[in-house]
Structure formats: structure tokens, C-alpha cells
Amino acid sequence: MMSLSVLSLPQRYKRLLQAMTLAVAVVYMTLLLYQSAYGYPNFQLQPQPLSSSSQLLDGNEPAAITTTQQLQQQQQHQQQQQQLQHSLPPTTQTASSFASSAASPITPSLIIRKDIHSFNFSDIEVSERPTATLLTELARRSRNGELLHDLSQRAVTATPQPPTTELDDIFISVKTTKNYHDTRLALIIKTWFQLARDQTWFFTDTDDHYYQEKTKGHLINTKCSQGHFRKALCCKMSAELDIFLESGKKWFCHFDDDNYVNVPRLVKLLDEYSPSVDWYLGKPSISSPLEIHLDNKNTTTNKKITFWFATGGAGFCLSRALTLKMLPIAGGGKFISIGDKIRFPDDVTMGFIIEHLLKVPLTVVDNFHSHLEPMEFIRSDTFQDQVSFSYAHMKNQWNVIKVDGFDLKTDPKRFYSLHCQLFPYFSFCPPR
């Protein structure tokens, strides 16, 4: 029994040894399989150009490469890489170095495939895409198409922010005449002109050193004839338009010398519109469009046309875009010729050019006011919101706004009182 057990001991060891060898072999095989699938951790990867990677994708290359082959391949790759680094533009370099860094010379095919699948080279290399099939090309194009479509949709549906308008974007022109310098011009200079000294210009018909100095050179002698007749008025309007066009400002706003302009409100109004769109903003003084008959030189018949116009006595504004369209037909003094042709005053001529010739409709802004409407009906709690006011003395009666402030003798036109309501910090306003 004893001898049996002694004899059987080496036999047992032999079996154990066999089992252990088998286990080691299984572990070794498993390790080999694992390495061939995932490679060695922290292995120094050799650079490999994109073209070689593409070849390996064919699947013709053997998974195991001999040591000599490895060395040859490594040398070849190093040479190719040096050449690439000297000849390719930076973007191509980036793309190819990304591809090559993933390639191991020992287990190339699987690793390269894995990385190729996770990285789309066609996104970077548009010009060099030898492996791109027609389908991937179409897919790429349709993706771009979708992107473009999406962008264009956004451009259409997004609410465009109107450009911000500042006081300095506005050219304010005031029509005046020699006889009104002391009575009307002086009142403007003391009140609202102080809020837009650099933007306001007075178009008159004489030299006047006193007011030239008061306005710091903002008095323009148009050399147009004095008098309240059509030709003289159209001559001034023509000068206003031409000087605005030269100014490069975004908005042209015309007022008469019996207007009070609420400067901040004017800026706020224009801020709601784009100067690069055709805008004719103002207020008509008649309840239906003006009907005029144009002479037809070729026939004896008259042509009847209708159009709206913004009354000049309330003030109106034109966007630069619109005035640029007017330039070829009404710029450089041609405004006067058109006025001569239709034989109507300056504001009617303006409406004729804009509404009839250019087909740009008048946009009615109720916040402009001329003395053709009863001023007393403008509620004092809405003064802040009005763009312009006016006054007139007719048949021994004043058509003026109803406003608290200075007495009627001191302020018959009510502009000082209005100014103090809107801007109470002015020097002549009573302390509150």
C-alpha cells in the first residue's frame, strides 16, 4: 500500500503538470487573441500615412507581419512622413497625422479599421477623398444641403433686429425765410434746436451773420428767391434734398419753421424703421388722395393721376434708401423741374415723385402735426409721444396747443411752455 502510494506520487505530479501546462497554454492563447484584437497597451505607435492606411483597409494585408517587414515598413513610413510634413498644407497634415497615429505596425488592420470607422476623413479632406464612394459623396452633399436649407430657413423666419438709429443718423432740415428769422427761427433756436444743434440745418434765402453765429454755422443761404410761391419753395426743398444726399446720413427729415420738433421722439420713431428700406413717413392734410391732371404733349387729352403726399407743415422723413432712388430723377436740382412740370408746391411735388413716379406709398404717422389740424385737440398727456407740433395765427385767432406754463402774452405760440413740459430742466423753465 505504501509502495503503491509512493509509486503513484510522481504519476499524480505528472498529471498536475500536464493540467498546469494546458492551463498555461489556454491563458497564453487567450492573451495572444486579446493582443491581436486590441493591441499592446502603451505601445509606441509608429506614424503611418493615410494612403497606406487606405490600402490596409482592403483586407489583403496579413494580420501578422515579420520583424524584417516591420522594420522595413517603419523606415518607409518614417521617410513618407518626413516628405508629407514638408509638402502638405497644415490641414492635410493634421488629418493625415491623426490617421497615422492610430496605426500600429504590428497589428495594423484591426486598429486602423476601428479608428477609421470612428473618424470621418471626408469631413476634413474635401479635395483628397480617394476612398469616398458616390454614396458617401451624395450623403455629404445632402447633409450640406440640409444645413444650407436650415440656415436659409432661419434667415427667413428669424425676426431681424432693426438697426439702432441715433440722433446723429438724422439730417433735420428747416425751411425758413429772411422775414421769419426773428419771429420763428429765434424761437426754434431757444428751444428744440438746443437738443439737436449738430443735426439741424436751416435753409434760408439770405445771409444772416447774427443767426449764423447763433446756430454755429448751420444757416444755409440757398440763394433761392424770397417769397411764398411755388418756385421759391421747390428751390429750397431741392437744396435740402441735395445737401442731405451729400451728408451721408441715414434719414432726411424736413420741417417748416413753425414746427416744434420733439427730438427724442423723432429718434425713437425712426429707430422703428430701417433706413435701407424705402420709407416715406409723414401725415397727409387731406382726407383723400390728391387728384391732378397731367398735360399730355402728344394728345389734347389730360391724364388723371392720384397720389398721397405728406404735408410739409407737419414735417416728414425719408429713408436714405428712398432718397437714393430719387437721386437720378430729382437730385442735382431736378426737383425744381418736376415741380415746374406739375405746377404744385414742394410737398406735393415730393408726394408726386415718391408715390407716383417711384411707387413708394406714404406711411402715415399720426404723431406729426401741422397747423392745418386744430392744435388744441392734442391731449397734454400725449405730448411726449408726438413728433411735431405747430401753430398759426388766422383770422385774429391762434391755433395753438393747450398747455400749462407761461402766460399767453409771454408765450403766444406755446412753444416755451411745451418745451418746459417736455424738458423741465432748461434754464428758462420755472423751478418745479
Summarize as ranges the residues that interact with ligand UDP (CB under 6 A). Answer: 175-177, 180, 226-228, 232-233, 236, 256-258, 313
Kindly tell me which of 55 and 183 has the beta carbon lying closer to ligand UDP: 183
Kindly tell me which of 214 and 268 has the beta carbon lying closer to ligand UDP: 214
Kindly tell me which of 38 and 229 has the beta carbon lying closer to ligand UDP: 229
Residue 176 contacts which entry, Mn ion, ligand UDP, none (Cβ below 5-8 A, type-dependent): ligand UDP
Residue 163 contacts which entry, ligand UDP, Mn ion, none (Cβ below 5-8 A, type-dependent): none
Rounded least distance, CB 300 to Mn ion, Å: 38
* Residue nearest Mn ion (C-beta atom): 258
Among 205, 242, 347, 411, the active-site one is 347
Residue 355 contacts which entry, ligand UDP, Mn ion, none (Cβ below 5-8 A, type-dependent): none
Q: What are phi and psi of 66, to 5 degrees?
A: -70, 160
Q: What are phi and psi of 295, to 5 degrees?
A: -65, 135
205 makes contact with Mn ion (CB under 5 A)? no
Kindly tell me which of 116 and 233 has the beta carbon lying closer to ligand UDP: 233
Q: Quick check: is 347 catalytic?
A: yes
Residue 175 contacts which entry, Mn ion, ligand UDP, none (Cβ below 5-8 A, type-dependent): ligand UDP
Residue 325 contacts which entry, ligand UDP, Mn ion, none (Cβ below 5-8 A, type-dependent): none
Kindly tell me which of 163 and 227 has the beta carbon lying closer to ligand UDP: 227
Kindly tell me which of 101 and 226 has the beta carbon lying closer to ligand UDP: 226
Q: Which of 366, 426, 387 is nearest to 267 (CA)?
A: 387
Query: Near Mn ion by CB under 5 A, which window of 138-146, 181-189, 255-263, 268-276?
Result: 255-263
Residue 411 contacts which entry, Mn ion, ligand UDP, none (Cβ below 5-8 A, type-dependent): none
Rounded least distance, CB 313 to Mn ion, Å: 5
Distances (CA, A) of 368 to 110, 251, 312: 79, 16, 10
Each residue 265-304 as x (binds Mn ion by CB under 5 A) or -, in order, gives ----------------------------------------
Rounded least distance, CB 309 to ligand UDP, Å: 14
258 makes contact with Mn ion (CB under 5 A)? yes
DSSP β-bridge partners for residue 220:
203
Residue 49 contacts which entry, ligand UDP, Mn ion, none (Cβ below 5-8 A, type-dependent): none
**CB of 204 within 8 A of CB of 177?**
yes
Each residue 311-350 as x (binds Mn ion by CB under 5 A) or -, in order, gives --x-------------------------------------
The sign of the torsion formed by the CA atoms of 369, 372, 376, 378 equals negative
Kindly tell me which of 242 and 278 has the beta carbon lying closer to ligand UDP: 242
Residues near 49 by Cβ (< 8 Å), separated by ≥ 6? 77, 80, 81, 84, 96, 99, 100
- Binding residues for Mn ion (CB under 5 A): 258, 313
Residue positions annotated with a catalytic role: 347
